């Protein structure tokens, strides 16, 4: 992921149905591919709920999904394996740290 992708001005919004079938709005904050290890080649995205006027609560919740793209179709998969989650979390934290270091150099 390039710095330009991390600093994109127009946020990518996706809609994910909840357990009741209601679509909730999420902003994609990062997409990345795990490059090594057991889960190499898998694509992941990190999303946060879009703030609505209905709630004044600020949330720090970040959700991670494995995803596959087939043309315009996007398939999301929950990460239920603890080893996979640890790999995704480590990769995400590394990318965020690299991004922050890059910002300091500007």
Query: Distance between CA atoms of 64 and 14, rounded to whole angstroms?
Result: 13
* Structure confidence by residue, pLDDT tens digits, 19-57: 899 999 999 999 999 888 889 899 999 999 997 655 555
State the Rg of the chain over Cα: 15
Q: Which tens digits make up the pLDDT trace of 13-28?
A: 999 988 899 999 999 9
Distance from C-alpha of 5 to C-alpha of 71, rounded to nearest angstrom: 20
pTM of the model: 0.76
Beta bridge mates, 17: 23
């Amino acid at each position: 992921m390039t710095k330009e992708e991390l600093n994109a001005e127009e946020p990518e919004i996706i809609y994910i149905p909840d357990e009741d079938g209601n679509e909730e709005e999420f902003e994609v904050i990062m997409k990345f591919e795990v490059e090594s290890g057991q889960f190499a080649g898998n694509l992941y995205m990190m999303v946060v709920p879009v703030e609505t006027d209905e709630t004044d609560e600020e949330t720090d919740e970040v959700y991670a999904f494995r995803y596959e793209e087939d043309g315009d179709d996007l398939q999301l998969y929950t990460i239920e394996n603890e080893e996979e989650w640890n790999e995704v979390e480590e990769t995400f934290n590394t990318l965020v740290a690299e991004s922050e270091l890059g910002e300091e150099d500007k």
